A and B are shown apart, each in its own frame.
Chain A
Amino acid sequence: MQLATLAIGLISATALWSGVQALNAQARTSYDRAAAALGGNRTATLVARDGGSYAQQLYVDLRRAGWPVSPAVEGAIRLSGRSLRLLGVEPLSLPVEARTAPALGTGDLQGFILPPGQTLIAPETLREFGLTEGATPELPNGQHLPPLKPQAEIAPGVLVVDIGLAQKLLDMPDRLSRLLLGSKQDGSRPPLRDIVGDRLQLDQPDAATELERLTDSFHLNLTAFGLLSFLVGLFIVNSAIGLAFEQRRPMLRTLRACGASARQLNAVMVIELCLIALLAGLIGLVCGYLIAATLLPDVAATLRGLYGAQIPGELSLRPEWWLAGIAISILGTLAAASAALIKAARLPVLAAAQPYAWQQAQYRWLIVQGAAALAVFAAGFGFLWFGDSLLSGFAVLAAILLGAALGLPAILGLVLALGEKLARGPLTTWFWADSRLQLSGLSLALMALLLALGVNVGVGTMVESFSRTFQRWLDGRLAAEVYLNAATDQQATEIKAWLKDRPEVRSLLPGARAEVKLQGQPVELIGFADDATYRDHWPLLEHTKDVWDRVARGDAALVSEQLWRRLGVKLGDRIVVPSDRGPWPVEVVGIYADYGNPRGQLGVAFGALVTHFPDVAKTRFGLRVDPARVPALIADLRSNFALGERSLADQSTLKAISKQIFSRTFAVTTALNAFTLGIAGVALLTSLLTLGASRLPQVAPLWAIGITRRRLALVELTKTLAMAAITALVALPLGLLVAWCLIAVVNVKAFGWRLPFEVFPFELAKLVGIALLATLLAAALPILKLMRMQPARLVKVFADER
Chain B
Amino acid sequence: MSVRSRISRRAFAGGLLTVAVAPPVWAQGFAGLGSDAGGFAPVVPGRKLAFPDDHGPHPDFRIEWWYLTANLKDAAGNAYGAQWTLFRQAMTPGPQRDGWANQQIWMAHAAVTSADIHRFAEKFSRGGVGVAGVEASPFKAVIDDWAMQGSSATEPATLSPLEVTARGTNFSYALRLSADRPLVLQGDNGYSRKSERGQASYYYSQPYFTASGTLTLDGRAIAVEGAAWMDREWSSQPLASDQTGWDWFSLHLSTGDKVMLFRLRQRDGSNYFAGNWIGTDGRSAPLSPDQIRLEPLGFTTIGPRRLPTRWRVEVTGHDLAIETTPLNPASWMGTSFPYWEGPIAFKGNRVGVGYLEMTGY
Q: Is there any pair of Cβ atoms, one from A and one from B, under 8 angstroms apart in the complex? A: yes
Q: Which residues of B contact A163 (CB under 8 A)?
A: 100
Knowing A110-B29, A115-B101, A187-B169, say if A64 contacts B142 (CB, 8 Å). Answer: yes
How far is A185 from B168 in the complex, measured between Cα atoms in Å?
Answer: 9
How far is A57 from B129 in the complex, measured between Cα atoms in Å?
Answer: 8
Which parts of A161-205 form the interface with B (CB within 8 Å)?
162-165, 167, 174, 185-189
A92 lies within 8 A of B167 (CB): no
Q: Which residues of B contact A186 (CB under 8 A)?
A: 121, 167-169
Partner of B144, one of A63, A108, A109: A63
Knowing A106-B22, A106-B24, say if A174 contacts B99 (CB, 8 Å). Answer: yes
Q: Which residues of A contact B28 (CB under 8 A)?
A: 108-110, 113
A66 lies within 8 A of B145 (CB): yes
Which of A92, A105, A106, A174: most chain B CB closer than 10 A? A92
CB distance from B358 to the nearest CB of A (A): 25
Partner of A106, one of B25, B125, B129: B25
B167 lies within 8 A of A187 (CB): yes
Q: Which residues of B contact A174 (CB under 8 A)?
A: 99
CB distance from B95 to the nearest CB of A (A): 13
How far is A221 from B64 in the complex, measured between Cα atoms in Å?
Answer: 61
Interface status of A367 (Cβ within 8 A of chain B): no
Interface status of B136 (Cβ within 8 A of chain A): no
Which parts of B194-238 form the interface with A (CB within 8 Å)?
none
B100 lies within 8 A of A185 (CB): no
A164 lies within 8 A of B121 (CB): no
B167 lies within 8 A of A114 (CB): no
Partner of A60, one of B27, B91, B101, B130: B130
Q: Which residues of A contact B22 (CB under 8 A)?
A: 106
Give 16 A-B contacts (CB < 8 Å), ordered by A residue. A59-B131, A64-B130, A64-B131, A65-B145, A92-B124, A93-B124, A106-B24, A109-B25, A110-B32, A113-B91, A114-B91, A114-B103, A115-B101, A164-B101, A186-B168, A188-B167
Please name 19 further chain A to chain B contacts, defined as beta carbons within 8 Å, in addition to the given A108-B28, A162-B100, sorted by A numbering: A57-B130, A60-B129, A63-B144, A64-B130, A64-B144, A92-B124, A93-B124, A105-B24, A105-B25, A106-B23, A110-B32, A113-B126, A163-B100, A164-B100, A164-B101, A186-B121, A186-B167, A186-B169, A187-B167
Interface status of A90 (Cβ within 8 A of chain B): yes
Q: Which residues of B contact A57 (CB under 8 A)?
A: 130
Q: Which residues of B contact A92 (CB under 8 A)?
A: 25, 105, 124-126
Which of A105, A165, A186: most chain B CB closer than 10 A? A186
CB distance from B35 to the nearest CB of A (A): 18
CB distance from B16 to the nearest CB of A (A): 19
Q: Which residues of B contact A185 (CB under 8 A)?
A: 169
Residues of B within 8 A of A (CB): 22-25, 27-29, 31-32, 91-92, 99-101, 103, 105, 121, 124-126, 129-131, 142, 144-145, 167-172
Q: Which residues of A contact B105 (CB under 8 A)?
A: 92
How far is A93 from B125 in the complex, measured between Cα atoms in Å?
Answer: 7
CB distance from A91 to the nearest CB of B (A): 7
Interface status of A266 (Cβ within 8 A of chain B): no
CB distance from B155 to the nearest CB of A (A): 26
How far is A91 from B130 in the complex, measured between Cα atoms in Å?
Answer: 17
B168 lies within 8 A of A66 (CB): no
Q: Which residues of B contact A66 (CB under 8 A)?
A: 144-145, 167
CB distance from B1 to the nearest CB of A (A): 15
| B106 and chain A: residue at smallest CB distance | A92
| Top-6 shortest CB links A-B | A164-B100, A109-B28, A66-B145, A187-B167, A60-B130, A63-B131
Partner of B125, one of A63, A108, A188: A63
B145 lies within 8 A of A110 (CB): no
| B171 and chain A: residue at smallest CB distance | A187
Interface residues on A, range: 20 to 34
Interface status of A56 (Cβ within 8 A of chain B): yes
Which of B28, B31, B171: most chain A CB closer than 10 A? B28
How far is A105 from B31 in the complex, measured between Cα atoms in Å?
Answer: 14
Per-position binary interface string of chain A over residues 100-135, scored 1 when its CB falls under 8 Å from any chain B CB and 0 otherwise = 000001101110011100000000000000000000
How far is A113 from B89 in the complex, measured between Cα atoms in Å?
Answer: 14
How far is A114 from B144 in the complex, measured between Cα atoms in Å?
Answer: 22
How far is A165 from B101 in the complex, measured between Cα atoms in Å?
Answer: 8
Which of B100, B105, B171: most chain A CB closer than 10 A? B100
| B28 and chain A: residue at smallest CB distance | A109
Partner of B31, one of A68, A91, A93, A110: A110
| B126 and chain A: residue at smallest CB distance | A92
CB distance from A194 to the nearest CB of B (A): 13
CB distance from A658 to the nearest CB of B (A): 41
How far is A56 from B121 in the complex, measured between Cα atoms in Å?
Answer: 26
| B124 and chain A: residue at smallest CB distance | A92
Partner of B25, one of A64, A65, A91, A164: A91
How far is A113 from B131 in the complex, measured between Cα atoms in Å?
Answer: 17
| B29 and chain A: residue at smallest CB distance | A110
Which parts of A371-396 form the interface with B (CB within 8 Å)?
none
| B103 and chain A: residue at smallest CB distance | A114
Knowing A64-B131, A114-B91, say if A187 contacts B168 (CB, 8 Å). Answer: yes
How far is A92 from B126 in the complex, measured between Cα atoms in Å?
Answer: 7
A114 lies within 8 A of B126 (CB): no
How far is A56 from B126 in the complex, measured between Cα atoms in Å?
Answer: 14
Which parts of A76-101 form the interface with B (CB within 8 Å)?
90-93
CB distance from A512 to the nearest CB of B (A): 33
Which of A65, A110, A115, A174: most chain B CB closer than 10 A? A110
How far is A66 from B129 in the complex, measured between Cα atoms in Å?
Answer: 16
Q: Which residues of B contact A115 (CB under 8 A)?
A: 101
Q: Which residues of A contact B29 (CB under 8 A)?
A: 110
Q: Which residues of B contact A91 (CB under 8 A)?
A: 25
How far is A164 from B103 in the complex, measured between Cα atoms in Å?
Answer: 12
| A188 and chain B: residue at smallest CB distance | B167
CB distance from A661 to the nearest CB of B (A): 39
| B147 and chain A: residue at smallest CB distance | A64
| A71 and chain B: residue at smallest CB distance | B129
Which of B23, B91, B124, B145: most chain A CB closer than 10 A? B145
| A108 and chain B: residue at smallest CB distance | B28
Q: Which residues of B contact A113 (CB under 8 A)?
A: 28, 91, 126
How far is A68 from B145 in the complex, measured between Cα atoms in Å?
Answer: 10
CB distance from A360 to the nearest CB of B (A): 78
CB distance from A54 to the nearest CB of B (A): 15
How far is A64 from B144 in the complex, measured between Cα atoms in Å?
Answer: 4
Q: Which residues of B contact A56 (CB under 8 A)?
A: 129
| B166 and chain A: residue at smallest CB distance | A187
A167 lies within 8 A of B100 (CB): yes
How far is A380 from B30 in the complex, measured between Cα atoms in Å?
Answer: 67
| A164 and chain B: residue at smallest CB distance | B100
| A110 and chain B: residue at smallest CB distance | B28
| B170 and chain A: residue at smallest CB distance | A187
CB distance from B88 to the nearest CB of A (A): 14
B32 lies within 8 A of A187 (CB): no
How far is A338 from B25 in the complex, measured between Cα atoms in Å?
Answer: 58
How far is A115 from B102 in the complex, measured between Cα atoms in Å?
Answer: 10
Per-position binary interface string of chain A over residues 279-299, scored 1 when its CB falls under 8 Å from any chain B CB and 0 otherwise = 000000000000000000000
Knowing A110-B28, A167-B100, A187-B169, say if A64 contacts B124 (CB, 8 Å). Answer: no
Q: Which residues of A contact B172 (CB under 8 A)?
A: 187
Q: Which residues of A contact B91 (CB under 8 A)?
A: 110, 113-114
Q: Which residues of A contact B125 (CB under 8 A)?
A: 63, 92-93
| A109 and chain B: residue at smallest CB distance | B28
CB distance from A365 to the nearest CB of B (A): 68
CB distance from A53 to the nearest CB of B (A): 16
Q: Which residues of B contact A109 (CB under 8 A)?
A: 25, 28
Q: Which residues of A contact B101 (CB under 8 A)?
A: 115, 164
How far is A167 from B129 in the complex, measured between Cα atoms in Å?
Answer: 13
How far is A59 from B128 in the complex, measured between Cα atoms in Å?
Answer: 13
Q: Which residues of A contact B92 (CB under 8 A)?
A: 114
A164 lies within 8 A of B142 (CB): no
CB distance from A349 to the nearest CB of B (A): 69
Which of B25, B27, B29, B169: most chain A CB closer than 10 A? B25
CB distance from B209 to the nearest CB of A (A): 25
Which of A90, A108, A187, A189: most chain B CB closer than 10 A? A187
